Each structure stands twice: as C-alpha cells, then as structure tokens.
Structure 1
Amino acid sequence: MGALSKRAAGAALMDENITLFACPICQESIGVFEQGRLVCSSNHSFDIAKQGYINMLTHGAISKYSKELFESRKAVIDSGIYDLVEDKIGELIANAETVLDTGCGEGSHLARIMAKKQGIGIGIDIAKEGILAAARHYPEQIWCVGDLAKSPFARSSFDAILNILSPANYEEFKRLLTQNGCVVKVVPQSGYLHELRAQLYADSTKESYSNEQIVARFKDSFADVSVERITYTVPLATELVPALLEMTPMGWHKKEEANIHLEEITIDVDVLVGRV
C-alpha cells in the first residue's frame, strides 16, 4: 500500500484531533468528510488542501507577508538564534498535550518546540503563504489558515497557547484554554535586535523601544502572570543578514543605499505566562 497523500495524511491527523475544532461560522461540532473536507452539523464545509492544511477563513484576507518573507523567517529560525527562547517555552509547556500557536507564520517555532515533547501542535495564521510553507516543511503538526476573530476551534481545547512576537486576541485565548492551561506570549525587550535597530534608525526615536504597554495589557488580561526576561547575543552569519532584514518589519523600510553590516545579533525578549 502506497504512502498517504499529503491531503489524506493531513485529514487523518485532523480526524485524530477533531474535538479541538469547531465551525468558525456557527461554532457547531465538525468532522472529516471523505478525507477532503471538514463539515459541521449545519453543513458548513471547509476544504483540506492538497498540501495537507485546512483553510477555515470565513472572509477574504489580504496579507502583507510574502512567500519570500516566510522563507527568510525559516532560514533565520533554523540557524538557531532563537534556541534559548524555544527551550524556555518548551520547559513552560512540558506537560501540555494540546498546543496552539497563534500567528504561527511558516510554523518553525511550533515545529521545533513540539519536536522535543509529546502532544499535538496546531498552528493558525491568516497568511496563506505561511501556512503553505508550514504544511510543506512540517507535516507532523496541523496547520490552519484562519482568523481567531472567527475562531475554528472548540472551547477549552488547548493546554497551552503560544503567541510569539505576534498580535494577540486575549478574550479568544481565554475561551480556548483548558482549566489549567496557560498562554505563553513572547514580546521584544529594549535590546531586541538592537544592532539592526541602531543602523536603521540611528539618531531617531525609533532607535529605542519599550514593551511597557504590551506587558501591562497582558497583566490586565490574566489573573496569574509571570514574566521572565531572556537576553543573549549570538554570532550572525553574513548570508543571514538579508533574511533577517526580510523577516522583520524594521527591515521593510530600509533605504536602498543603506549598508547594513552585522556580525552578531541580540535576542532580548520577555516571556510572559498567563493563567486565567
């Protein structure tokens, strides 16, 4: 018997974890139909793509993120510069059996974290190009094009929700958490990529950064919050500099004549953990 197609393999993985899903239109339960669609009890239907991911968007969406950006993001993450951050997240969610990565992009963080632990990971992003890349590179997890404002997941489904350098929807996070679940949010600290910021924004107000408002909002949203700062500097290969510029919004506004030279880069983040 031949290997399953990517669509069939994705459908099988979704079927094994179908209780995590709900129809984003009516929030009714949903099931896999003929290995090609998810169909709810009200007959709303969502196609499983041939690449093995599911598109559960209920509206059109235009993403500013390109295929090239996600390729660059994967190259930078695969280089290991975020290893210590991923290791910390892995420690924090060691006992989580169901993990949702919100704003997962091309899925590298989630895949690398889940490779070291038991359980199932689901990544969701509104950007189809990111989910396409995730499904292509990491078929061991479930990948979903979707919008948490019209959530395709069932209440109280996830032991851990990850939100790594990405916008948040705290009310939806709380709806989706299991009773003892947690949200892990990673936000930049003042020194994050400061070598790049110094060259792009020299002598401007953008050269400095504060996450004070983001952290305050997180603390307002959860009853039990802890914050841990992780900061370190690592060498950066010359060939990764263009990829770093491509993946970060800071690089999108670079003037053509700007000559960026980086031999090392600083990762400086706060890891916030929230429980309801």
Structure 2
Amino acid sequence: MNPARIARFGDSERYFICPICHDTLHLDGTSLRCANRHTFDIAKQGYVNLMPAAKQSPFYNSESFANRARILEAGYYDHIRDAVLDTIQRHIGVPADMGLAGLRGDARPAILDVGCGEGFYSRAVQRANPQADLLAFDISKDSIQQAAREDSSMAVRWFVGNLADLPVRSHAIDCMLDIFSPVNSEEFHRVMKDDAIVIKAVPGVHHDEQLRELARKQLRNTDYSNEQIIKQFGEHFDVLETSTVSRTFTMPPDDLRTFAHMTPLLFHVDIDALDLTQISALTIEARIIVARK
C-alpha cells in the first residue's frame, strides 16, 4: 500500500475513537486499534471502515454515486462549492494568503464533512485549505471507496461512519460541513469545540423545480420547502447568517437524465415515465446556513 494512504492516519488519536468501546484509536501498522484490541484496517484505497455493520440505502449505491460524480464534475454545483469555500474562509477569519494556518496557533484546525458522499466538497476544501486536517465520512462504503480512490492529495481522512454515534473525539472539530445531509445536533455539539461553526446547505425552494414540475403527478408533495428543517436547525444552533446561491443551466439530454436519476428529490419517481425532452434548463439552488453552538 502507498505509505501516504496510511500516513494521513498517523495522528488518529487526535480525532478518532473506537466505534465499539469509544476508547482512543491509534495507528498500528496498517490498522487503527484501541487499547481493547478492536481493530479497523485501512483499505487499499485509503479509508477506514469505522462502521463495519453499516447498512446503506438502496438509493445510495455505486451507480448513484457515479451519476453524482458525473454531474458534479460537469460543473453544475460549482457555484455551491465556491460559496461553501468562501463561507469557510470568512467565518474562520484567517487572511486568504494564510489559509487556515493561523486559526489556532501551531495546531492544525479540523474540518469534518458530514455525509460526504463521493467527496466532491471534501476534496475542494482540502485543496483550498491544505493547512487544515480534513475528516470526511459517509454511511455508504461505496461512496467512501470512490472518494478515497479519487483523492490524489492522499490527505483527507476518509472513513465509513454512523451519524448517530460518530467515532470522533469530543471537542475535536473546528468546523462542521453538512452539505445536503442530515443533522444530529447532539453529536454535532459533542464533537465541536466551543467556538466551532457549522456550515449547512439545504436545497433551495427553486432547486430542481423544472424536474419537480414534470414529475408533479408522482410526487407526494408538489410544494417543496425546507423551512421546517431550517427552523429545527435554528432551535439547536445559534444561526449567524443565511444566504441563497442559485444558477439555471442549459443542460444536454444525457446530463439531464443522469441528474434525474441521481437527485434524492426524485428517488421515488419513475424516471422512465417522464418526458425529459420537455426540459432544456434546470435550476440548481441551495440555502447556506452558518451557525455556532
């Protein structure tokens, strides 16, 4: 195995705890191991499975993540990615030419990407902030395998994990990223430092509206809103700001079909029954919320 794929876990005791007994995990050869000898091997792709019994949704498999990667690599979510990067920079409060190096003196700040999927945002954040320690997890082994395989930096600490019981030390994280993923406020509070921030993105009200209108007869709720999710988030965190980023793209038929198959908003829709030729453009929109404990 490439030594760099292992080296990123060299200081695992700073961040990781055993998912079985919650004791500290240390790098031991090519594995993470706790004092009780629970052992988790580092896979050849460069990730560690800290949720061996994980059961992923049938909607999130290698095919769906490959579809997501195609859409992301085509640039349709670049405006959301750039807004997230800008938000990290502004709220951590370090000059752009310093990256994150000055956040905590000589300590490397830690960013945790929650439900990172195929790693699109994690890799972008790591490239923009090489001085930070970036941890990224998903419950889907397929997605983490893909994310680690495509990480040319070999710097992100990829792991399979459970949002309900994060294998992460308490008060270890400076910045939580939650991009289109669920929130577990209790676990977020536990792993966050006292002055840490959360950056959360949810689909905007106009997100996928052209596809949703086409699939109206198959959708349970034709009116789409994340206001209840935003309200609940605000009950557990001190919201500092919210913003909306939105772009409407002219999209070729192949990309549109790929998008329709990968978006969670249409998971319960018969895509083949839709006449996608009626759509030539698609809106991709997100609400970005910044909050503290």
Same fold (TM over 0.5): yes
Cα offset, 1:223, TM superposition:
2.7
Tell me if the contact between 1:219 and 1:225 (Cα under 8 Å) persists in the aligned partners.
no
1:264 counterpart = 2:264: no
Query: Which of 270, 274, 286 is the equivalent residue of 1:254?
Result: 270
Cα distance between partner residues in 2 of 1:235 and 1:117: 32
Q: Secondary structure at the match of 2:177?
A: strand
Query: Which of 245, 250, 262 is the equivalent residue of 2:260?
Result: 245
Query: Which of 95, 111, 120 is the equivalent residue of 2:133?
Result: 120
Cα distance between partner residues in 1 of 2:47 and 2:261: 25
| Equivalent residue, structure 2, for 1:37 | 31
Equivalences for residues 38-53 of structure 1 within 5 A: 38-53=32-47
- In structure 2, relative to structure 1, the CA distance for the partners of 1:52 and 1:204 (3 Å cut) is closer
- In structure 2, relative to structure 1, the CA distance for the partners of 1:195 and 1:154 (3 Å cut) is same
| Equivalent residue, structure 1, for 2:177 | 162
- Residue-by-residue CA offset, 1:232-271 (whole Å, 9 max, x unaligned): 2122233211221221123332253322133222122210
Q: Secondary structure at the match of 2:221?
A: helix
Cα distance between partner residues in 1 of 2:21 and 2:165: 9
Tell me if the contact between 2:115 and 2:181 (Cα under 8 Å) persists in the aligned partners.
yes
Query: Which of 31, 53, 60 is the equivalent residue of 1:59?
Result: 53
Q: Secondary structure at the match of 1:24?
A: coil
| Equivalent residue, structure 2, for 1:92 | 87
Tell me if the contact between 1:105 and 1:134 (Cα under 8 Å) persists in the aligned partners.
yes
Query: Which of 225, 229, 232 is the equivalent residue of 2:247?
Result: 232
Q: Secondary structure at the match of 1:144?
A: strand
1:77 counterpart = 2:72: yes
Tell me if the contact between 1:32 and 1:38 (Cα under 8 Å) persists in the aligned partners.
yes
Tell me if the contact between 1:77 and 1:109 (Cα under 8 Å) persists in the aligned partners.
no
Cα distance between partner residues in 2 of 1:184 and 1:28: 28
- Residue-by-residue CA offset, 1:119-143 (whole Å, 9 max, x unaligned): 2221111110000100111133121
Cα offset, 1:80, TM superposition:
1.4
Tell me if the contact between 2:12 and 2:25 (Cα under 8 Å) persists in the aligned partners.
no
Aligned length: 270
Cα offset, 1:202, TM superposition:
5.2
Equivalences for residues 119-138 of structure 1 within 5 A: 119-138=132-151
1:199 counterpart = 2:214: yes
Cα distance between partner residues in 1 of 2:31 and 2:275: 49
Q: Which amino acid aligns with 2:77?
A: Y
| Equivalent residue, structure 1, for 2:104 | none
Q: Which amino acid aligns with 2:121?
A: H
- Residue-by-residue CA offset, 1:67-109 (whole Å, 9 max, x unaligned): 0100111111111111121112112212453211111111112
- Identity, % of aligned pairs? 30
Tell me if the contact between 1:23 and 1:44 (Cα under 8 Å) persists in the aligned partners.
yes
Cα distance between partner residues in 2 of 1:109 and 1:264: 24
Cα distance between partner residues in 1 of 2:219 and 2:83: 33
Deviation larger for 53-62 or 133-142? 53-62
Tell me if the contact between 1:24 and 1:58 (Cα under 8 Å) persists in the aligned partners.
no
Cα distance between partner residues in 1 of 2:220 and 2:187: 34
Tell me if the contact between 1:190 and 1:209 (Cα under 8 Å) persists in the aligned partners.
yes
Q: Which amino acid aligns with 1:12?
A: A
Cα distance between partner residues in 1 of 2:70 and 2:54: 29
CA RMSD of aligned residues (A): 1.9
Tell me if the contact between 1:25 and 1:150 (Cα under 8 Å) persists in the aligned partners.
no
Query: Which of 16, 19, 40 is the equivalent residue of 2:14?
Result: 19
Cα distance between partner residues in 2 of 1:188 and 1:140: 29
Tell me if the contact between 1:114 and 1:121 (Cα under 8 Å) persists in the aligned partners.
yes
Q: Which amino acid aligns with 2:46?
A: G
